[in-house]
Amino acid sequence: MTFDSLAFRRAMGTFATGVTVVTTRNAAGQNCGVTVNSFASVSLEPPLVLFCLDREAMSFGAFTDAERFAINFLTAEQHHLSVRFSVSATDKWDGVAYDPWADGLPMLKGCLANLGCRREAVYDGGDHVIIVGFVEDLRVSETREPLVYYQSGYRAIGPSL
């Protein structure tokens, strides 16, 4: 390898991504959430998605053990939620608006879309794991602008080309 991890991180930062907050409930029934921009659609039939989670994340065990989780696509106006759920804190949910879906799964309000998923598989991914989910339910609101992350900062999308 002729590059280090910092160079790799800089290269990956040139790929603009949407921002999600992935949510679940832990074994004690407490809400858990983490900001994720390593998210992708895998398949339309069946409807599969994936996200990558750092093995050092405070909520790692909650997500690798959870049978169900939600993917919440953030709007440009929700960048504060991205910041809130990106840090290790015990009060992440204080004042956060959400709807409890099936089995109490917390779905953030006001998002572009919410996907309710059943865990399909967990794969090794180096210092992360890759969690694949089968989408069982969804809610879509296409009337807002997405939150975008690019070169270590939040961005807005301009007019269509």
Walk me through the domains of the chain, giving residue ranges and CATH numbers: 5-155 (2.30.110.10)
Number of helices (H), then strands (E), in the chain = 3, 12
- Residues with Cβ within 8 Å of residue 8, at least 6 apart in sequence: none
Q: What pLDDT does 24 receive? A: 96
Q: Is the predicted pLDDT of residue 130 greater than 90, yes or no?
A: yes
Mean pLDDT throughout 59-78? 94
